[in-house]
């Protein structure tokens, strides 16, 4: 009786988590769709039209980074120089970043689907968990470059480098595109270890089924 209750609770948990990751997956697909629409808009609209709109219109701008929000002065916002190449690069970078996360979410969703069906120690499940681990490891090696490049493009669009230097508080600004996010790398190694445990469990399960 107790095992039956625990089995039902486990299935409810996995199905609930699968629903959550399904929602996350849909939101990411929606984000990629919006980026595709923006990409088409950027390719169609000329730089002159956008810069003319920014110069004549009433523009307010702010920068969000690491929980910090900076509202830019009206003059700075009016002096924004739109460059199509930078925006296309920004959208392309965001697409790669979201695509990697989407692939990881899909793998997690598939693992939860197998668990809800009672398929736990199997080679397919271990491979899916391994793919999640590899995705986390890739992010650990690239997330700093992604984020730094996004900040770099924002600084270029708003021409903030020269403004900061002119204050005499900032002497120089440099960008570091290399680096490892050790927290993500450790998480990736832990997930990879779990995947190997699942693979060994699948091996033992096959042996048990063969001898039973």
Share of the chain above pLDDT 70, in %: 74
Instruction: Report the pLDDT value the prediction gives residue 75, as an integer from 0 to 100.
Output: 58
Per-residue model confidence as pLDDT tens digits over 55-75? 665 555 556 555 666 666 655
* 120 vs 188, higher pLDDT: 188
HEC secondary structure over the chain: CHHHHHHHHHHHHHHHHHHHHHHHHHHHHHHHHHHHHHHHHHHHCCHHHHHHHHHHCCCCCEEEECCEEEECCHHHHHCCCCCHHHHHHHHHHHHHHHHHHHHHHHHHHHHHHHHHCCCCCCHHHHHHHHHHHHHHHHHHHHHHHHHHHHHHHHHHHHCHHHHHHHCCCCCCCCCCCCCCCHHHHHHHHHHHHHHHHHHHHHHHHHHHHHHC
Please name the residues in contact with 131: beta carbons below 8 A apart, sequence gap of 6 or more: 103, 104, 107
Per-residue model confidence as pLDDT tens digits over 78-107? 566 667 787 888 888 889 889 999 999 999
Q: How far apart are CA 47 and CA 74, in angstroms?
A: 21
* 150 vs 172, higher pLDDT: 150
* 19 vs 171, higher pLDDT: 19
For residue 211, pLDDT over 80 is answered with no
Instruction: Report the pLDDT value the prediction gives residue 58, as an integer from 0 to 100.
Output: 57
Strand partners, 195: none
Q: How far apart are CA 11 and CA 21, in angstroms?
A: 15
Instruction: Report the pLDDT value the prediction gives residue 10, as an integer from 0 to 100.
Output: 80
Exposed, middle or buried, 188 (CB in 10 Å: 0-12/13-18/19+)?
Answer: buried
Q: How far apart are the first and last CA of the chain?
A: 25
Q: How confident is the model at residue 43 (pLDDT cuts 50, 70, 90)?
A: confident
What tokens appear for 27 in the block? 């939101």
Average pLDDT over residues 155-167: 64
CB neighbours of residue 131 within 10 Å? 19
Query: What mean pLDDT value characterizes the chain?
Result: 80
């Amino acid at each position: 009786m107790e095992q039956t209750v625990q089995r039902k609770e486990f299935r409810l948990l996995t199905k609930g988590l699968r629903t959550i990751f399904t929602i996350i997956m849909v939101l990411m697909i929606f984000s990629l769709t919006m980026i595709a629409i923006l990409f088409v808009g950027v390719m169609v609209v000329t730089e002159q039209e956008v810069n003319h709109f920014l110069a004549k219109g009433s523009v307010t701008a702010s920068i969000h980074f690491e929980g910090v929000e900076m509202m830019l002065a009206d003059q700075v916002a009016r002096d924004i120089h739109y460059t199509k190449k930078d925006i296309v690069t920004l959208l392309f970078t965001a697409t790669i970043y979201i695509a990697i996360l989407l692939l990881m979410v899909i793998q997690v969703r598939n693992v939860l689907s197998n668990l809800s069906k009672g398929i736990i120690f199997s080679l397919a499940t271990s491979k899916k968990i391994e793919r999640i681990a590899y995705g986390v490891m890739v992010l650990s090696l690239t997330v700093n470059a992604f984020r730094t490049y996004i900040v770099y493009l924002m600084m270029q669009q708003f021409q903030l480098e020269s403004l900061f230097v002119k204050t005499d508080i900032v002497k120089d600004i440099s960008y570091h595109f290399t680096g490892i996010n050790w927290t993500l790398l450790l998480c990736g190694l832990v997930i990879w270890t779990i995947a190997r445990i699942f693979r060994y469990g699948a091996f033992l399960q096959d042996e048990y089924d063969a001898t039973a």
